[in-house]
Amino acid sequence: MPHDKAPPLCKRIFDLVVSLVLIVLLSPLLLVIALLVYFVHGSPVIFRQQRPGFQGKPFICYKFRTMVDRRDEKGQLLPDEQRLTRLGRILRSTSLDELPELINVLRGEMSLVGPRPLLMQYLDRYTPEQARRHEVLPGITGWAQVNGRNSLSWEDKFRLDVWYVDHWSFWLDLKILALTIIKVIRREGISQEGFATAEEFMGSGKKENGESEVNP
């Protein structure tokens, strides 16, 4: 796939058709999830966060909320594991919290398959090779997600992301989508050991126990 260019037309058409069909077919499920999130987590139902997309350009990523807004006496948000609800764990383990990202796919900000959109602050922490993950649109699922997801180290995730950039094909996308269904059914790699989701990426060779509502 050429670097730093728009996605091939066949990939874009496939994304549009599949995401639109899924939104229509899953609309009853989306409504039920939205109501559950509203009654358990309150308003807003959708978690919105700025993420880096193609070439690192920011966009607003949509997900169902999986956490409540609990804070300590100083007004600081509590750690993820203290804010992640039972409903939130179910949504994450089944990847149902990701369904609103189909809107991002329709808008052309994401693809069905590609490196996961992470946090804006990570941009300055990547090595030049790791930053190549932004040479394609971010995806709802990706090569790293079907090869370990959060059980992988950040370095391994980024290595797999760059491999995808260099080896993209339409058939590879179909394979990843098929493997994603299997992984979701088996609920594999949902969280990193010792974390509600995954530890914050501080740069290769650096670690910190900070967390935020990011589910790579």
10-53 pLDDT, tens digit per residue, is 999 999 999 999 999 999 999 999 999 999 999 999 999 999 99
Average model confidence (pLDDT) across the chain: 87
What would the mean pLDDT of 174-186 be, rounded to a whole number?
A: 91
**Tell me, what amino acid is at 49?**
Q
| Residue 84, φ and ψ in degrees, nearest 5 | -75, 120
pLDDT-based confidence at 150, cuts 50/70/90? confident
Q: How far is CA 157 from CA 54, 67, 85, 164, 178, in A?
A: 18, 25, 26, 11, 19
First-to-final CA distance of the chain: 23
Q: Is the per-residue pLDDT at 210 higher than 50?
A: no
pLDDT beyond 90 at 117 = yes
What are the φ and ψ backbone dihedral angles of 196, each rounded to 5 degrees?
A: -65, -35
Question: Which pTM value belongs to this model?
Answer: 0.85
Q: Which residue has the higher pLDDT, 58 or 196?
A: 58
What is d(CA 213, CA 205) in angstroms, rounded to the nearest whole number? 22
Helices (H) and strands (E) in the chain, counts: 7, 6
Q: 111-113 and 139-141: which strand pairing?
A: parallel
Give the whole-number percent of the chain exceeding pLDDT 90: 67
203 against 14, higher pLDDT? 14
Query: Nearest Cα to 99, choosing from 87, 112, 89?
Result: 112
Is the predicted pLDDT of residue 119 greater than 90, yes or no?
A: yes
Share of the chain above pLDDT 70, in %: 86
Q: Which of 104, 81, 30, 47 is nearest to 193 (CA)?
A: 81
| pLDDT at 212 exceeding the cut of 50 | no
pLDDT of residue 73: 76
Nearest Cα neighbor of 116 from 152, 82, 169, 87 is: 152
Give the pLDDT of residue 206: 54
Q: Comparing 96-105, 173-182, 188-197, which segment has the lowest mean pLDDT?
A: 188-197
* pLDDT band for position 209 (cuts 50, 70, 90): very low
